[in-house]
Amino acid sequence: MNKKGFIFDLDGVIVDTAKYHFLAWQQLAKSLDIEFTEEENEQLKGVSRVRSLEKILAWGNKTISQELFDDLMAKKNEEYLGYIAEMDDREMLPDVPRVLNFLKAHKQPISLGSASKNARTILERINIMSDFDAIVDGNDVTKAKPDPEVFLIAAKELHMSPEDCIVFEDSVAGVTAANTANMISIGIGSKDVLGHAHYVFNDFTEISDDFIKSLIEK
Ligand code: B16
Ligand code: MG
């Protein structure tokens, strides 16, 4: 059988940690008297921690010292870690295990491609670390999505050319990164938000084994 590299984003694709990032950022923004909408939150998805705080400060027209910036980043992460400490495999999004099992059964190389520095902690908590042939996360990159770096490193680690890689992404920045890397992008979420992806599905329950087979055989 043909081989393709399958690259999974983490937050919002494998687990619904996007809601925890939102809660933690919202709390932090409130403490600075900054309000941001769900729509603005879409722009934080897939975006690094540093860049996310920069964006929130810009929305609130605030300038702060480097010291306070570092302090706020640490606080946000502490809050977020508090949420994910409670996680287990029941928090995996619907049909993710089915798709991972299908890919493994067909000997397809699988990588993580996440902006999160907490990715390994989460994979351990939900017990799927061993499903991955490569793990590329926020600790391995110098440029955040929408830069394609994270996915290009993943392709390299899987020994696949970018054109033979397929990326599952829930964020605007991540789909742009996958497209820029010359990969097939599969948006997980709403067509209104992820219209620039090659394919968009609401979630993995809409992605059939036959569809995946057709991607492998392409
Ligand atoms: P951390 P992904 C991204 O993960 C999240 O979507 C984004 O909201 C978050 O700011 C970023 O990771 C950094 O996460 O603070 O845990 O390092 O979607 O690329 O898996
Ligand atoms: Mg994501």
pLDDT at 23: 93
Q: Please list, in sequence order, all residues whose beta carbon lies within 8 angstroms of the beta carbon of residue 114, skipping any fewer than 6 positions away.
A: 9, 10, 11, 136, 137, 138, 150
Catalytic residue among 9, 131, 140, 203: 9
Strands 184-188 and 110-113: unpaired
Q: Is the CB of 47 under 6 A from ligand 1?
A: yes
Query: Nearest 10 degrees: CA dihedral of 13, 100, 164, 134?
Result: 80
* pTM reported for the whole predicted model: 0.93
**Annotated domain spans of the chain:** 5-16+93-217, 18-84
Q: Is 111 helix (H, G, I), strand (E, B) or coil?
A: strand
- Asked if 11 is an active-site residue, the reply is yes
Q: Does the domain formed by 18-84 have CATH 1.20.1530.20?
A: no
- 169 CA to middle of ligand 2, Å? 6
Question: Per the annotation, does 49 bind a ligand?
Answer: yes
**pLDDT exceeds cutoff 90 at 36:** no
Q: Is 54 helix (H, G, I), strand (E, B) or coil?
A: helix
pLDDT digits (tens, 9 = 90+) for 66-99: 999 999 999 999 999 999 998 999 999 999 999 9
Containing 134, the helix (H) or strand (E) segment is strand 134-136
pLDDT at 37: 85
- Asked if 147 is an active-site residue, the reply is no
**pLDDT exceeds cutoff 90 at 1:** no
Say what percent of the chain tops pLDDT 70.
100
Is 216 in contact with 108 (CB distance < 8 Å)? Answer: yes
**pLDDT exceeds cutoff 80 at 218:** yes
Mutate to test the pocket of ligand 1, among 15, 72, 112, 114 (most ligand atoms within 8 A of CB): 114
Q: Tell the residue number behind the tokens 């990588």, with chain if given.
A: 111
**What mean pLDDT is predicted for residues 105-132?**
96
Identify the CATH assignment for 5-16+93-217 out of 3.20.190.10, 3.40.50.280, 3.40.50.1000, 3.90.79.10: 3.40.50.1000
N residues, the chain:
218
Q: Tell the residue number behind the tokens 């996958």, with chain if given.
A: 178
CA distance 162 to 127: 28
